Amino acid sequence: MTEPLGPLHGVKVVACSTAQAGTVPYMLMADLGAEVIKIEVPDGGDTSRGSSILPGLPSTYFETNNRGVKSVTLNLKTQEGREILHKLVAKAEMFGQNFRPGAAEKNGFGYEDLRKVNPKLVYISISGYGPKGPHADLPGTDSMAQALGGIAEAYSTPGQPLRTGIVSVADETCAILAFGGALAALTYARTTGIGQKVDCSLLGGQIRLMGWTLTTTMWRDRNPVTGQARVTGTPERPGLSASFNDRDGKPLVFQLNGARKWREAMAALGFYERLEQAGFGDLGVAIASDEKRAILLRLLDDLFATGTRDDWVSRLRGSDIVSAPINTLLEASNDPDVLANGYVTEVEYPTHGKTLKVHGSPWHFSETPAKIGHAPALGEHNESVLSDLGYSSAQIKDFKDRKII
pLDDT tens track, the chain, 405 positions:
678 999 999 999 999 999 999 999 999 999 999 999 999 999 999 999 999 889 989 999 999 999 999 999 999 999 999 999 999 999 999 999 999 888 999 989 999 999 999 999 999 999 999 999 999 999 999 999 999 999 999 989 988 999 999 999 999 999 999 999 999 999 999 999 999 999 999 999 999 999 999 999 999 999 988 889 988 889 999 999 999 999 999 999 999 999 999 999 999 999 999 999 999 999 999 988 889 999 999 999 999 999 999 999 999 999 999 999 999 999 999 999 999 999 999 999 999 999 999 999 999 999 999 999 999 999 999 999 999 999 999 999 999 999 999
Instruction: Look up residue 352 and give its amino acid.
Output: H
User: How far apart, in whole angstroms, are the C-alpha atoms of residue 89 and residue 86?
Assistant: 5
User: How far apart, in whole angstroms, are the C-alpha atoms of residue 15 and residue 39?
Assistant: 6
Strand partners, 38: 15, 71
Q: What pairing do the DSSP bridges indicate for beta strands 35-40 and 12-16?
A: parallel
User: So what's the pLDDT on residue 233?
Assistant: 87
Please compute Rg for the chain using Cα positions: 26
Q: In 3-state terms, the chain is what percent helix, strand and coil (to 5)?
A: 40, 15, 40
User: So what's the pLDDT on residue 1?
Assistant: 63
Tell me which CATH code domain 229-326 carries.
3.30.1540.10
User: How far apart, in whole angstroms, are the C-alpha atoms of residue 146 and residue 166?
Assistant: 10
CB 356 within 8 A of CB 60: no
> How many CA atoms lie within 13 Å of 394's alpha carbon, on the beta-carbon side?
0
Q: Where are the domains of the chain?
A: 12-210+375-401, 229-326
* E strand or H helix at 38: strand 35-40
> How many CA atoms lie within 13 Å of 163's alpha carbon, on the beta-carbon side?
8
User: How far apart, in whole angstroms, are the C-alpha atoms of residue 21 and residue 152?
Assistant: 19
Q: Any idea what the Cα angle at residue 390 is, between residues 384 and 394, rounded to 5°? A: 75
Helix (H, G, I), strand (E, B), or coil: what is residue 141? Answer: coil
Greatest Cα pair distance in the chain: 88
User: How far apart, in whole angstroms, are the C-alpha atoms of residue 344 and residue 334?
Assistant: 8
Tell me which CATH code domain 12-210+375-401 carries.
3.40.50.10540
User: So what's the pLDDT on residue 211?
Assistant: 97
